[in-house]
Amino acid sequence: MAKRFVVLLLVLLFAVGAVGGCLNQTPPDLSGTWNGKMSRDLNPTIRDFADVTINLTQDQNNQFSGTVTVTYNPNTSNEVTLQATITPSESSTNEWGATIKANGVNNTGSDIVVSNGNFSFKISVGSTYKFTFALPHLYACRGGDLSELIGTYILNINNDSNPIDSGSVNLVKQ
């Protein structure tokens, strides 16, 4: 009985020590330029069909400002680029993950059509669009400098709750 108690006490001691490594209360500084690739959920066979660049500035409250540029079908004849401005009140990081929301408007004078393979979507003239990136990073457990973020993205039009595009995103800090 005493041996079991000692073993249990040691296990609890190591468990508390391991959890203590995940209690870093300082969010990471994610300021800088992040480049990466986006892959669609609806057709995962079309991998890396879009390039993304996110320019982040992080303030003392860990809120972001900056820009997001997404290029669908890069280096092809049907390349389409969408640019959006990060909304600081909706974009921030903490010790567990980052959320980036960026809004854009189609003011090009014509509809924007993105198509690749068997999918297509359209952003009409004057429509607004919003990219939302959810990027878990578990900095509280990892610490140090973060140079890669892997998460998900969603693209909505005109505040519609049904996304027109969604999938995974892999970003690397430049």
Contacts of 58 (CB under 8 A, 6+ apart): 29, 30, 31, 64, 93
Which pLDDT score, from 0 to 100, does residue 119 have? 79
At residue 133 the predicted structure's pLDDT band, cuts being 50, 70 and 90, is very high
Contacts of 71 (CB under 8 A, 6+ apart): 50, 51, 52, 79, 80, 81, 82
Interval 7-19: pLDDT, tens: 444 444 444 444 4
**Total count of domains within the chain:** 1
Which pLDDT score, from 0 to 100, does residue 45 have? 58
At residue 47 the predicted structure's pLDDT band, cuts being 50, 70 and 90, is low
pTM for the full model?
0.85
- Domain encompassing residue 11: 2-173
In order of 15, 48, 52, 99, 147, the CA distances from 168 in angstroms are: 33, 9, 11, 14, 17
Interval 137-149: pLDDT, tens: 988 888 778 899 9
Provide the percentage of residues in the chain whose pLDDT is more than 70.
83
